[in-house]
Amino acid sequence: MEPERAVTQTHFAIRNVGLERPDAPNLVWGHGWGQSGEAMLPLANSLAGFAYSTVIDFPGFGSSPMPPADWGTAEYADAVAAWLREQPRRTRFWVGYSFGGRVGIQLASRHPELVDGLILVASAGLPRKRSFPGHVRLSIKRSTLKVARRLLPEGPALERLRSRFGSADYRSAGRLRPILNKVVSENLDEVAAKVECRTLLVYGERDTETPVEIGRRLHALIKNSQLIVLPGLDHNSIVGEGRHLTARHILTFLKGEAQ
């Protein structure tokens, strides 16, 4: 287990849905970047007849306070671990969507005693494979923004450059921008290779933000994993209008653990 950072006083806003029986599995939900736990509630409610769900707001999102420093996913995972140790222990699965998947990979690797299984939905965590022209374009954008931040004061000129060259997440990140920069630069391949618990990977066939090739590489890295590719779904619909198909595969995975 990796050393835990000084994050034990972090507060998490939470919502609970589903069965409160002690024999019901506990699903702990981690949302995507720029969201709150509210985004996970429809999917959690789809499983309310089988599991007890705890839906959290990560620090800096929703109703949770800002983290005390510019965290990476390791610090987010350590904060979750400190909070989980204070919760009643039952069969527990981390369900992470996109950014929440990054945190889940870190959690299962750094604190394996706290989770019995890992469910990663459209999870990020590995760098996307890009063509050479794509790499060049991305490098130019990043270099332009880096130089602009050094030379220009905060104001309209810098914001125009952010709007032109930055991603939608970067433009809207506000005070979380330093954390976003740190998170998106992480490559969790060595971390994922240390995950030992049963893992379900669910990706949308049409996802262009966390494409299926990331899921395939994570599947190869995580020894005890299963990959499901859902036809016709993209990064948003996999937890939106297509959530019942996602929930069906999660339920099958959970029932397999219970057998």
Residue of 242, 228, 241, 230 lying closest to 206 (CA atoms):
230
pTM above 0.85, yes or no: no
Q: How is residue 67 annotated by DSSP?
A: P
Number of residues in the chain: 259
pLDDT at residue 21, as a whole number: 87
Q: Which CATH superfamily, name and number, covers 13-127+187-258? A: Alpha/Beta hydrolase fold, catalytic domain (3.40.50.1820)
Instruction: Give Cα 111 to chain centroid, integer Å.
Output: 16
Q: DSSP letters along 28-40, please? A: EEE--TT--GGGG
Say which residues have a Cβ less than 8 Å from residue 170's Cβ, sequence separation at least 6. Answer: 162, 177, 180
Q: Render pLDDT for 120-172 as a digit per residue (tens, 0 to 9).
A: 999 999 998 755 465 545 555 556 656 656 666 676 765 665 555 556 665 56
User: Residue ranges per domain, the chain?
Assistant: 13-127+187-258, 132-181
Say which residues have a Cβ less than 8 Å from residue 46's Cβ, sequence separation at least 6. Answer: 243, 244, 247
